Amino acid sequence: MSRAATPTKAEQTASEKKATAEAPANSMDAITVFTFFWSQLMLLQCVKLFFIFKSSRTVQNAIPLVSLAIVDFLALVKPRCRYVTMTSLLVGFVVIFVTGHYSNHIFADIALGSCIFLTYKSDRSEWVNRATWAMRAMVIALYFVTGIDKMNGGWASHEYSCCILMFGGFVGLPLFKFWVPSWAPWDFMPHLAVIIEIGLPIALILGAAKGKYFWLRFVCFWGALFHCVLAETVSPMSVYPFTMAMAPMYTFVLPEQAALVANTVVNWLNAKPILRWGAFLGLFAAFVSAWPMLMAPELEGAMPFEYPPYGLWAFAAVWSLCSCVYLLCVTFWPAPKSDIPVKRVYPKRSLLGSIPWIFICCLAACPYLGIRNYPALAMFSNLRTEGGQPNSHVFGDDFDFLGYQRDYVTIHSTNIPSIEWAQVDLGQLFTSETKRFLTEYNISSEFWITPPGKGWPYPPTREFVPYSTPFVELRRRIAEMKDFPKDAYINYTRTQAPPQLRLAKVWDIFGVAHPMADLDKPVSQDFVYNSTVRGTEAFKDLETPLSPLENRFVRFRTFDLSYSPCRH
């Protein structure tokens, strides 16, 4: 091939700039589509802040709500403006940090927002290129680590698997339940889920490294369907906040096609704005209002139980379905023939863009490092890392040098609400039809959450069930009690368990000792804590407040050593 047939780097750069210059001023790109989705995620956050403001109408609660609502409404209607995008991201980060409402989907929001914020460039095409690299790297890390989390002894359990529970909730919907044969491969679904979560990052790596659209389309197709399923189940089983976070993320799997589809849709709507926008919004509103009757007819149009009580399940389910349709269109949309290949952005040119995927890996490592698992990316994975009996097939206690998870208490009985209801079974609040369908296929409806320290604000969902939790969490809840009633009590057993080491010989060579490694077996002691013993030397460690670092970063949920049901 002659030299003239191959464009030089300078010629390619010049052609890129020319293509950018010739692009219509009002055309959309992946950053624009991201901003449109991001604004809706943050407006969802505004709903949470509204409930806080409603319960305590103070200026301190009003400022985050008003500032976030104004900025993200502007981002919703002006997604093409780079300054609006950056302001929306910055205000979102500040509000999330100040209000402190952390959950696994909020951590995902922070990571995907950082992919855009940290890769900012005045040259918009370069900004898209760098953001694409950062977002794809984060998606690869996210799926890979959650796939590893699911490699545990509880994930494949037919009765208690989170995967089978979610799948049962989906196929039990009125649209699908009559199609489920008696021989449905329920027990294969957990293995298929792991294959998908490990396969998607591999496919994305192949697509990004080789420039093969087949693999990128493969990721977009299966990812869209996978997350749509998680949102469509009837609340409180639905995990729509995490599904909604996936839409802006998948924009950068096929950024050119995402922009082309968005341009096509917006141009079509704007051709006759009053008629077409009105019809679209009216149809969307009609589906939202009819969704509870379609998916949970036994409720007779009422909304299913939702915790926290945002009342957004129907809206989010229809929104997620629309997003899935959009991403499927992106999947099959042809690449433009005049498309200029996006230059690969290497890590040395995107050091800041590497921060999001590193953050995801660090967050995923927290349960194995013994720092926290509430919240964590290991939620809905049946993973247990506590009690000196981890059920992971990949990691033991080898990297837990803190020992919080192996110093735990088992609560046998108590009359303190914040401790009695430190775990709540939302499965008891599933619709009667959902519970009937799960029972028919021998699937447990247990769906445990750990509410905040203020306690469960509703009547108990079932009788008290003894549970275990790290001792540090009992300390936290005792410290949060301003007044200790005279008749209050806690009957509990404190246990310290030796670590389960899979690299014991390696640690011996390096002379590394783990907390409680000197124990041959778990050591337990029974206690009854009440007002008569409060302040005595025997309970000094229980009444010791958490340090600022512990209070901020160390956090765990409840667990049970006899089995591993689905826990949030």
Banded pLDDT at 343 (limits 50, 70, 90): very low
List the structure tokens of 567.
Answer: 């826990």
Domain assignment of residue 504, yes or no: yes
CA distance 329 to 207: 18
Phi, psi angles (nearest 5°) of residue 493: -120, 130
Flag whether pLDDT at 13 surpasses 90: no
Q: Please tell me which residue, 256 or 52, carries the higher pLDDT value.
A: 256
Banded pLDDT at 52 (limits 50, 70, 90): confident
Please provide the DSSP assignment of 504-567 as one string.
HHHHHHHT---TTTT-SS-EEEEEEEETTTTTSGGGHHHHSPPPHHHHHH-B---B-SS---EE
Strand order in the sheet with 447-449: 424-425, 447-449, 566-567
Residue 284 burial (CB count, 10 A) = 14
Report helix, strand and coil shares of the chain as percent, to nearest 5.
55, 5, 35
The set of residues, in sequence order, having a beta carbon less than 8 Å from that of 530 and lying 6+ positions away, is: 488, 489, 490
Flag whether pLDDT at 185 surpasses 90: no
Element (H, E) at 493: strand 489-496
Flag whether pLDDT at 539 surpasses 80: yes
Predicted local confidence at residue 307, as pLDDT? 85
Flag whether pLDDT at 2 surpasses 60: no
Average pLDDT of the residues in 284-299: 94
Residue 467: give the domain boundaries: 393-567
The set of residues, in sequence order, having a beta carbon less than 8 Å from that of 362 and lying 6+ positions away, is: none
Give the 3-state DSSP-derived string for 232-251, with helices as H, strands as E and coil as C: HCCCCCCCHHHHHHHHHHHC
DSSP category for residue 110: H
Predicted local confidence at residue 204, as pLDDT? 95
The set of residues, in sequence order, having a beta carbon less than 8 Å from that of 150 and lying 6+ positions away, is: 163, 190, 193, 194, 197, 381, 382, 383
Beta-bridge partners for 524: 495
Domain boundary among 44, 71, 101: 101
Q: What percent of the chain clears pLDDT 90, i.e. is strictly above it?
A: 74
Domain assignment of residue 478, yes or no: yes
Domain assignment of residue 551, yes or no: yes
Predicted local confidence at residue 568, as pLDDT? 82
Find the length of the chain: 568
Average pLDDT of the residues in 215-234: 93
**How far is the CA of 530 from the CAs of 464, 483, 487, 497, 539, in angstroms?**
19, 12, 7, 26, 10
Predicted local confidence at residue 351, as pLDDT? 84
What is the residue-averaged pLDDT of the chain?
A: 89
Domain boundary among 72, 101, 130: 101
495 three-state secondary structure: strand
CA distance 44 to 231: 15
* Cα three-residue angle 223-229-234, rounded to 5 degrees: 155
Please provide the DSSP assignment of 301-370 as one string.
TPPPP-SS----HHHHHHHHHHHHHHHHHHHHSPPPTTPPPPPP--GGG-TGGGHHHHHHHHHHHHHHHT
Domain assignment of residue 445, yes or no: yes
Look at 76-80, 171-175, 520-524 and tell me which has the smallest mean pLDDT. Answer: 171-175
The set of residues, in sequence order, having a beta carbon less than 8 Å from that of 305 and lying 6+ positions away, is: 235, 236, 426, 429
Domain assignment of residue 268, yes or no: no
Banded pLDDT at 453 (limits 50, 70, 90): confident
**How far is the CA of 460 from the CAs of 360, 412, 421, 457, in angstroms?**
35, 17, 8, 9
Predicted local confidence at residue 105, as pLDDT? 83
Model confidence, pTM: 0.89
Number of domains in the chain: 2
Phi, psi angles (nearest 5°) of residue 122: -65, -35
| Contact yes or no for 38/46 (Cβ under 8 A) | no
pLDDT digits (tens, 9 = 90+) for 485-538: 999 999 999 999 999 999 999 999 999 999 999 999 999 999 999 999 999 999
Predicted local confidence at residue 349, as pLDDT? 58
Banded pLDDT at 48 (limits 50, 70, 90): confident
The set of residues, in sequence order, having a beta carbon less than 8 Å from that of 149 and lying 6+ positions away, is: 364, 367, 377, 378, 381, 383, 392
Average pLDDT of the residues in 354-374: 94
Average pLDDT of the residues in 341-367: 77
Flag whether pLDDT at 20 surpasses 50: no
Domain assignment of residue 251, yes or no: no
The set of residues, in sequence order, having a beta carbon less than 8 Å from that of 124 and lying 6+ positions away, is: 20, 29, 31, 82
DSSP category for residue 185: -
Instruction: For tokens 């104004």, name the residue.
Output: 70
List the structure tokens of 413.
Answer: 């009985």
Average pLDDT of the residues in 177-198: 86
Domain assignment of residue 472, yes or no: yes
448 three-state secondary structure: strand
pLDDT digits (tens, 9 = 90+) for 110-126: 999 999 999 999 999 89
Longest dimension (CA), the chain: 92
pLDDT digits (tens, 9 = 90+) for 382-435: 999 999 999 999 999 999 999 999 999 999 999 999 999 999 999 999 999 999
Phi-psi region of 382 (alpha: psi -120 to 50; beta: other; left: phi over 0): left
Please provide the DSSP assignment of 389-419 as one string.
---BSS--STT--S-GGGEEEEEEEE--HHH
Domain boundary among 101, 125, 143: 101
Domain assignment of residue 80, yes or no: yes
pLDDT digits (tens, 9 = 90+) for 243-280: 898 999 999 999 999 999 999 999 999 999 999 999 99
